[in-house]
Amino acid sequence: MSASVPAEAAIHLPVRAAEESVLYSEASTRDYSRCRTPDRPAPGTVFHVKPLKRSARRSLLVAHVAVSVGWLGLTVGLLALAITAFSTADPATARAATRAMKVFGDWLIVPVALFSLFSGLVLALGTPWGLARHRWVWTKFWLTLITVALSVFSLRPGIDEAATRGTVDADLVVAPSVATAAYLFITAISVLKPWGPTRRSHRLRRSAGAGKGLDERTPRRTA
Ligand code: HEM
H-only helix segments in 46-198: 54-87, 91-104, 110-125, 135-150, 156-165, 171-192
CB-count exposure of residue 35 (10 Å: 0-12, 13-18, 19+): exposed
Reported as a single tens digit per residue, the pLDDT across 38-52 is 445 565 566 667 899
37 CA from centroid of ligand 1 (Å): 20
Range of the domain at 150: 50-195
Answer yes or no: is 207 within a domain: no
pLDDT tens sequence across 186-216: 999 999 999 999 998 888 878 776 544 333 3
Task: For ligand 1, atom 25, name the residue with the nearest CA.
Answer: 120
More confident: 206 or 65: 65
Residue 4 lies in a domain: no
Residue 29 lies in a domain: no
32 lines ligand 1 (CB under 6 A): no
Q: Determine which residue's CA is closest to atom 28 belonging to ligand 1.
A: 120
Phi-psi region of 195 (alpha: psi -120 to 50; beta: other; left: phi over 0): left
**For the whole model, what pTM was predicted?**
0.80
User: End-to-end CA distance of the chain, in Å?
Assistant: 5
Residue 129: name the closest of 14, 20, 53, 23 by CA: 23
Closest residue by CA, ligand 1 atom 21: 120
What b-and-e string marks burial along 66-87, b requiring 16 or more CB atoms within 10 Å of the CB? ebbeebbebbbebbebbbbbbe
Does the C-beta of 64 come closer than 6 Å to ligand 1?
A: yes
Residue 124 one-letter amino acid: A
The number of the ligand 1 atom at minimal distance from the alpha carbon of 121 is 30
Of the two residues 102 and 22, the one the predictor is more confident about is 102
Query: How many separate domains does the chain show?
Result: 1
Nearest-angstrom CA–CA distance, 169 and 176: 12
Report whether residue 223 contacts ligand 1, using a CB cutoff of 6 Å.
yes
Residue 44 lies in a domain: no
Instruction: Quote the CA–CA distance of 97 and 166 in Å, as a whole number.
Output: 8
Sign of dihedral through CA atoms 32, 37, 119, 135? negative
| Residue 40: predicted pLDDT | 56
User: Distance (Å, rounded) from C-alpha 122 to C-alpha 200?
Assistant: 21
129 lines ligand 1 (CB under 6 A): yes
96 lies in a domain? Answer: yes
